[in-house]
Homo-oligomer: A and B are copies of this chain.
Protein backbone atom coordinates (compact mmCIF):
# COMPACT_ATOMS: atom_id res chain seq x y z
CA UNK A 1 0.00 0.00 0.00
CA UNK A 2 1.63 3.29 -1.09
CA UNK A 3 0.84 6.63 0.47
CA UNK A 4 -0.99 7.83 -2.62
CA UNK A 5 -3.60 5.06 -2.39
CA UNK A 6 -4.39 5.74 1.27
CA UNK A 7 -7.09 8.31 1.72
CA UNK A 8 -8.25 7.91 5.32
CA UNK A 9 -6.34 10.23 7.66
CA UNK A 10 -6.06 7.69 10.51
CA UNK A 11 -4.50 5.24 8.06
CA UNK A 12 -2.02 7.89 6.92
CA UNK A 13 -1.24 8.68 10.56
CA UNK A 14 -0.76 4.97 11.25
CA UNK A 15 1.70 4.83 8.35
CA UNK A 16 3.75 7.79 9.55
CA UNK A 17 3.74 6.39 13.07
CA UNK A 18 4.35 2.75 12.08
CA UNK A 19 7.42 2.06 14.21
CA UNK A 20 5.98 3.79 17.26
CA UNK A 21 2.62 1.99 16.92
CA UNK A 22 4.55 -1.29 16.76
CA UNK A 23 6.34 -0.32 19.97
CA UNK A 24 2.95 0.44 21.55
CA UNK A 25 1.57 -2.96 20.48
CA UNK A 26 4.63 -4.74 21.86
CA UNK A 27 4.34 -2.88 25.15
CA UNK A 28 0.63 -3.72 25.38
CA UNK A 29 1.35 -7.41 24.86
CA UNK A 30 4.18 -7.38 27.43
CA UNK A 31 2.22 -5.57 30.08
CA UNK A 32 -1.01 -7.50 29.77
CA UNK A 33 0.86 -10.69 30.65
CA UNK A 34 0.40 -12.13 34.12
CA UNK A 35 2.68 -14.83 35.43
CA UNK A 36 0.14 -15.98 38.01
CA UNK A 37 -3.24 -15.52 36.38
CA UNK A 38 -3.40 -16.76 32.75
CA UNK A 39 -7.04 -15.69 32.52
CA UNK A 40 -5.84 -12.09 32.27
CA UNK A 41 -3.95 -12.25 28.93
CA UNK A 42 -6.66 -14.55 27.54
CA UNK A 43 -9.42 -12.01 28.13
CA UNK A 44 -7.31 -9.01 27.16
CA UNK A 45 -5.98 -10.59 23.98
CA UNK A 46 -9.54 -11.34 22.90
CA UNK A 47 -10.27 -7.62 22.97
CA UNK A 48 -6.90 -6.07 22.12
CA UNK A 49 -6.14 -8.38 19.21
CA UNK A 50 -9.63 -7.88 17.77
CA UNK A 51 -8.31 -4.78 16.12
CA UNK A 52 -10.12 -1.54 16.46
CA UNK A 53 -8.49 1.51 14.96
CA UNK A 54 -6.22 2.29 17.94
CA UNK A 55 -7.34 5.87 17.48
CA UNK A 56 -6.61 6.95 21.06
CA UNK A 57 -2.99 5.77 21.30
CA UNK A 58 -2.40 7.24 17.84
CA UNK A 59 -3.61 10.63 19.10
CA UNK A 60 -1.03 10.51 21.91
CA UNK A 61 1.80 9.60 19.53
CA UNK A 62 0.69 12.25 17.03
CA UNK A 63 0.46 14.98 19.70
CA UNK A 64 4.01 14.21 20.87
CA UNK A 65 5.31 14.12 17.31
CA UNK A 66 3.67 17.49 16.54
CA UNK A 67 6.44 18.92 18.73
CA UNK A 68 9.18 16.69 17.33
CA UNK A 69 9.39 14.57 20.48
CA UNK A 70 12.12 11.93 20.23
CA UNK A 71 11.97 10.10 23.59
CA UNK A 72 9.95 6.98 24.37
CA UNK A 73 7.56 8.13 27.08
CA UNK A 74 4.89 8.83 24.46
CA UNK A 75 4.85 5.09 23.68
CA UNK A 76 4.17 4.33 27.37
CA UNK A 77 1.42 6.93 27.46
CA UNK A 78 -0.15 5.62 24.25
CA UNK A 79 -0.27 2.12 25.79
CA UNK A 80 -1.68 3.66 28.99
CA UNK A 81 -4.50 5.28 27.04
CA UNK A 82 -5.32 2.04 25.20
CA UNK A 83 -5.35 0.07 28.49
CA UNK A 84 -7.76 2.57 30.03
CA UNK A 85 -9.94 2.33 26.91
CA UNK A 86 -9.90 -1.49 26.99
CA UNK A 87 -10.70 -1.53 30.73
CA UNK A 88 -13.74 0.71 30.19
CA UNK A 89 -14.93 -1.49 27.29
CA UNK A 90 -14.76 -4.58 29.53
CA UNK A 91 -16.78 -2.86 32.25
CA UNK A 92 -19.21 -1.31 29.74
CA UNK A 93 -20.06 -4.70 28.32
CA UNK A 94 -20.95 -5.96 31.81
CA UNK A 95 -23.05 -2.87 32.44
CA UNK A 96 -24.79 -2.99 29.06
CA UNK A 97 -25.08 -6.79 29.11
CA UNK A 98 -23.66 -6.69 25.58
CA UNK A 99 -23.22 -9.83 23.53
CA UNK A 100 -21.08 -8.40 20.72
CA UNK A 101 -18.16 -5.99 20.42
CA UNK A 102 -16.19 -5.35 17.22
CA UNK A 103 -18.14 -8.15 15.56
CA UNK A 104 -17.07 -10.79 18.09
CA UNK A 105 -18.75 -12.20 21.22
CA UNK A 106 -17.93 -10.05 24.28
CA UNK A 107 -15.62 -11.26 27.06
CA UNK A 108 -18.50 -11.39 29.54
CA UNK A 109 -20.22 -13.85 27.23
CA UNK A 110 -17.11 -15.94 26.43
CA UNK A 111 -15.95 -16.10 30.04
CA UNK A 112 -18.20 -14.42 32.59
CA UNK A 113 -19.00 -11.04 34.14
CA UNK A 114 -16.50 -11.70 36.92
CA UNK A 115 -13.63 -12.00 34.46
CA UNK A 116 -14.65 -8.78 32.71
CA UNK A 117 -14.85 -6.83 35.99
CA UNK A 118 -11.57 -8.12 37.43
CA UNK A 119 -9.52 -8.08 34.23
CA UNK A 120 -10.78 -4.52 33.63
CA UNK A 121 -9.50 -3.61 37.11
CA UNK A 122 -6.19 -5.27 36.32
CA UNK A 123 -5.76 -3.32 33.06
CA UNK A 124 -6.60 -0.09 34.82
CA UNK A 125 -3.93 -0.79 37.46
CA UNK A 126 -1.44 -1.68 34.72
CA UNK A 127 -2.18 1.63 32.96
CA UNK A 128 -1.54 3.34 36.26
CA UNK A 129 1.88 1.68 36.59
CA UNK A 130 2.80 2.71 33.04
CA UNK A 131 1.97 6.36 33.54
CA UNK A 132 3.89 6.47 36.85
CA UNK A 133 6.96 5.28 34.92
CA UNK A 134 6.98 8.53 32.95
CA UNK A 135 7.66 10.37 36.21
CA UNK A 136 5.47 13.31 35.15
CA UNK A 137 3.07 14.53 37.84
CA UNK A 138 1.33 16.71 35.26
CA UNK A 139 0.55 13.64 33.15
CA UNK A 140 -0.71 11.79 36.23
CA UNK A 141 -2.94 14.71 37.12
CA UNK A 142 -4.46 14.82 33.62
CA UNK A 143 -5.11 11.09 33.54
CA UNK A 144 -6.51 11.00 37.09
CA UNK A 145 -8.97 13.74 36.20
CA UNK A 146 -9.89 12.03 32.93
CA UNK A 147 -10.53 8.76 34.81
CA UNK A 148 -12.87 10.52 37.20
CA UNK A 149 -14.73 12.21 34.32
CA UNK A 150 -15.06 8.87 32.52
CA UNK A 151 -16.40 7.06 35.59
CA UNK A 152 -18.78 9.87 36.49
CA UNK A 153 -20.04 10.00 32.90
CA UNK A 154 -20.70 6.25 32.95
CA UNK A 155 -22.75 6.49 36.14
CA UNK A 156 -24.61 9.49 34.76
CA UNK A 157 -25.37 7.62 31.55
CA UNK A 158 -26.72 4.67 33.52
CA UNK A 159 -29.05 6.81 35.63
CA UNK A 160 -30.01 9.28 32.86
CA UNK A 161 -30.31 6.78 30.01
CA UNK A 162 -34.08 6.37 29.98
CA UNK A 163 -35.00 9.52 31.89
CA UNK A 164 -36.97 11.88 29.63
CA UNK A 165 -35.69 14.85 31.65
CA UNK A 166 -32.25 14.28 30.09
CA UNK A 167 -31.50 17.45 28.13
CA UNK A 168 -28.71 18.42 25.76
CA UNK A 169 -26.56 19.58 28.69
CA UNK A 170 -26.72 16.19 30.40
CA UNK A 171 -26.15 14.46 27.04
CA UNK A 172 -22.99 16.50 26.54
CA UNK A 173 -21.72 15.54 30.00
CA UNK A 174 -22.32 11.88 29.24
CA UNK A 175 -20.53 12.19 25.89
CA UNK A 176 -17.59 13.94 27.50
CA UNK A 177 -17.38 11.08 30.00
CA UNK A 178 -17.82 8.15 27.66
CA UNK A 179 -15.74 9.46 24.75
CA UNK A 180 -14.25 12.95 24.82
CA UNK A 181 -12.42 12.75 28.18
CA UNK A 182 -10.07 10.03 26.96
CA UNK A 183 -9.60 11.69 23.54
CA UNK A 184 -8.60 14.98 25.17
CA UNK A 185 -6.40 13.31 27.80
CA UNK A 186 -4.70 11.34 25.00
CA UNK A 187 -3.77 14.49 23.07
CA UNK A 188 -2.89 16.51 26.20
CA UNK A 189 -0.43 13.98 27.65
CA UNK A 190 1.28 13.61 24.27
CA UNK A 191 1.91 17.36 24.26
CA UNK A 192 2.91 17.55 27.94
CA UNK A 193 5.52 14.81 27.57
CA UNK A 194 6.92 16.60 24.49
CA UNK A 195 7.31 19.86 26.41
CA UNK A 196 4.43 21.83 24.85
CA UNK A 197 3.60 25.23 26.39
CA UNK A 198 0.51 25.70 28.57
CA UNK A 199 -1.26 27.43 25.70
CA UNK A 200 -0.46 24.52 23.37
CA UNK A 201 -1.60 21.95 25.95
CA UNK A 202 -4.85 23.92 26.23
CA UNK A 203 -5.25 23.75 22.44
CA UNK A 204 -4.57 19.99 22.47
CA UNK A 205 -7.25 19.57 25.13
CA UNK A 206 -9.73 21.62 23.08
CA UNK A 207 -8.92 19.60 19.96
CA UNK A 208 -9.32 16.18 21.65
CA UNK A 209 -12.47 17.28 23.46
CA UNK A 210 -14.18 18.61 20.30
CA UNK A 211 -12.99 15.64 18.20
CA UNK A 212 -14.37 13.17 20.76
CA UNK A 213 -17.72 14.96 20.94
CA UNK A 214 -18.01 15.13 17.12
CA UNK A 215 -17.11 11.42 16.94
CA UNK A 216 -19.75 10.40 19.49
CA UNK A 217 -22.53 12.59 18.08
CA UNK A 218 -21.79 11.14 14.62
CA UNK A 219 -22.00 7.65 16.10
CA UNK A 220 -25.33 8.39 17.74
CA UNK A 221 -26.70 9.89 14.52
CA UNK A 222 -25.56 6.92 12.40
CA UNK A 223 -27.54 4.67 14.72
CA UNK A 224 -30.68 6.23 13.18
CA UNK A 225 -29.58 6.87 9.63
CA UNK A 226 -26.58 4.71 8.93
CA UNK A 227 -26.29 1.98 6.39
CA UNK A 228 -26.02 -1.24 8.40
CA UNK A 229 -23.68 -2.65 5.73
CA UNK A 230 -21.04 0.00 6.43
CA UNK A 231 -21.68 0.71 10.13
CA UNK A 232 -22.12 -2.95 11.13
CA UNK A 233 -24.97 -1.85 13.38
CA UNK A 234 -28.71 -2.16 12.95
CA UNK A 235 -30.71 1.03 12.56
CA UNK A 236 -32.45 1.87 15.81
CA UNK A 237 -30.34 -0.18 18.26
CA UNK A 238 -30.24 2.81 20.61
CA UNK A 239 -34.04 3.17 20.40
CA UNK A 240 -34.54 -0.51 21.22
CA UNK A 241 -32.06 -0.21 24.11
CA UNK A 242 -33.95 2.90 25.28
CA UNK A 243 -30.89 5.15 25.10
CA UNK A 244 -31.64 8.85 24.97
CA UNK A 245 -29.29 10.27 22.35
CA UNK A 246 -29.26 13.66 20.66
CA UNK A 247 -31.75 13.03 17.79
CA UNK A 248 -34.37 11.84 20.29
CA UNK A 249 -33.58 14.48 22.93
CA UNK A 250 -34.15 17.18 20.31
CA UNK A 251 -37.46 15.57 19.27
CA UNK A 252 -38.64 15.32 22.89
CA UNK A 253 -37.82 19.01 23.44
CA UNK A 254 -40.40 19.89 20.76
CA UNK A 255 -42.93 17.13 21.41
CA UNK A 256 -46.69 17.66 21.69
CA UNK A 257 -48.36 16.08 24.76
CA UNK A 258 -49.39 13.12 22.61
CA UNK A 259 -45.86 12.66 21.30
CA UNK A 260 -44.53 12.93 24.83
CA UNK A 261 -46.65 9.94 25.86
CA UNK A 262 -45.20 8.04 22.92
CA UNK A 263 -41.63 8.74 24.16
CA UNK A 264 -42.75 8.06 27.73
CA UNK A 265 -44.05 4.62 26.76
CA UNK A 266 -41.23 3.57 24.42
CA UNK A 267 -38.14 5.04 26.14
CA UNK A 268 -38.99 5.68 29.80
CA UNK A 269 -41.12 2.57 30.29
CA UNK A 270 -39.68 0.48 27.47
CA UNK A 271 -43.04 -0.88 26.26
CA UNK A 272 -42.20 -1.01 22.57
CA UNK A 273 -44.50 -2.36 19.91
CA UNK A 274 -44.25 -3.11 16.20
CA UNK A 275 -43.95 0.11 14.21
CA UNK A 276 -42.62 2.22 17.09
CA UNK A 277 -39.17 2.70 15.56
CA UNK A 278 -40.74 3.89 12.30
CA UNK A 279 -42.94 6.34 14.22
CA UNK A 280 -39.90 7.58 16.17
CA UNK A 281 -38.04 8.15 12.90
CA UNK A 282 -41.07 10.03 11.51
CA UNK A 283 -41.05 12.33 14.53
CA UNK A 284 -37.31 12.98 14.14
CA UNK A 285 -37.86 13.84 10.49
CA UNK A 286 -40.88 16.03 11.28
CA UNK A 287 -38.77 18.21 13.62
CA UNK A 288 -35.61 17.98 11.53
CA UNK A 289 -33.65 16.60 14.49
CA UNK A 290 -31.41 14.37 12.35
CA UNK A 291 -30.27 17.43 10.38
CA UNK A 292 -29.87 19.46 13.57
CA UNK A 293 -27.78 16.67 15.11
CA UNK A 294 -25.65 16.52 11.98
CA UNK A 295 -25.11 20.28 12.21
CA UNK A 296 -23.97 19.87 15.83
CA UNK A 297 -21.46 17.18 14.85
CA UNK A 298 -20.08 19.36 12.05
CA UNK A 299 -19.88 22.30 14.46
CA UNK A 300 -17.75 20.28 16.91
CA UNK A 301 -15.51 19.09 14.06
CA UNK A 302 -15.03 22.72 13.02
CA UNK A 303 -14.19 23.65 16.62
CA UNK A 304 -11.60 20.87 16.68
CA UNK A 305 -9.98 22.23 13.53
CA UNK A 306 -9.95 25.80 14.87
CA UNK A 307 -8.14 24.61 18.02
CA UNK A 308 -5.29 23.37 15.87
CA UNK A 309 -4.42 26.98 14.98
CA UNK A 310 -2.31 27.33 18.13
CA UNK A 311 -0.17 24.30 17.29
CA UNK A 312 2.95 23.89 15.11
CA UNK A 313 2.08 23.79 11.42
CA UNK A 314 3.41 20.54 10.01
CA UNK A 315 2.33 17.28 8.35
CA UNK A 316 0.94 15.85 11.59
CA UNK A 317 -1.24 18.90 12.14
CA UNK A 318 -2.62 18.57 8.61
CA UNK A 319 -3.53 14.95 9.29
CA UNK A 320 -5.20 15.86 12.59
CA UNK A 321 -7.26 18.46 10.72
CA UNK A 322 -8.22 15.82 8.14
CA UNK A 323 -9.12 13.46 10.99
CA UNK A 324 -11.63 15.98 12.33
CA UNK A 325 -13.24 16.07 8.88
CA UNK A 326 -13.12 12.31 8.63
CA UNK A 327 -15.00 11.50 11.85
CA UNK A 328 -18.02 13.40 10.52
CA UNK A 329 -17.51 12.50 6.82
CA UNK A 330 -19.70 9.44 7.25
CA UNK A 331 -22.60 11.85 7.74
CA UNK A 332 -22.36 13.36 4.27
Contacts and interface: CB of A to CB of B under 8 A. Distances in A.
A74 to B, nearest CB: 19
Interface stretch (A121-129, A244-252, A260-268, A270-278): A121-129
A299 interface: no
Contacts of A173: 36
Interface stretch (A53-61, A154-162, A227-235, A324-332): A154-162
Interface stretch (A64-72, A139-147, A196-204): A139-147
Interface stretch (A112-120, A209-217, A280-288): A112-120
A37 interface: yes
Nearest to A123: B151
Interface residues of A, number: 42
B137 A40 contact: no
Contacts of A145: 129
One complex includes copies of this chain to the number of 2
Nearest to A95: B114
A34 interface: yes
B158 A118 contact: yes
A309 interface: no
Contacts of A147: 124-125, 128-129
A52 B144 CA distance: 27
Contact of A91 (B95, B117, B128): B117
A247 to B, nearest CB: 22
A147 B127 CA distance: 11
A59 B127 CA distance: 27
Interface string A88-102: 000100110000000
A259 interface: no
Contacts of A38: 159
A158 B36 CA distance: 12
A90 to B, nearest CB: 10
Contacts of A124: 121, 124, 147, 151
A253 interface: no
Nearest to A127: B144
Minimum-distance CB pairs A-B, first 3? A125-B147, A122-B151, A37-B155
Given A121-B150, A129-B144, A132-B140, 13 more contacts: A34-B152, A34-B155, A36-B170, A36-B173, A39-B158, A40-B152, A95-B114, A118-B158, A121-B154, A122-B148, A122-B151, A125-B151, A129-B145
6 contacts: A91-B121, A118-B158, A119-B155, A122-B148, A128-B143, A132-B137
Interface of A: 34, 36-40, 91, 94-95, 113-115, 117-119, 121-122, 124-126, 128-129, 132, 135, 137, 140-141, 143-145, 147-148, 150-152, 154-156, 158-159, 170, 173
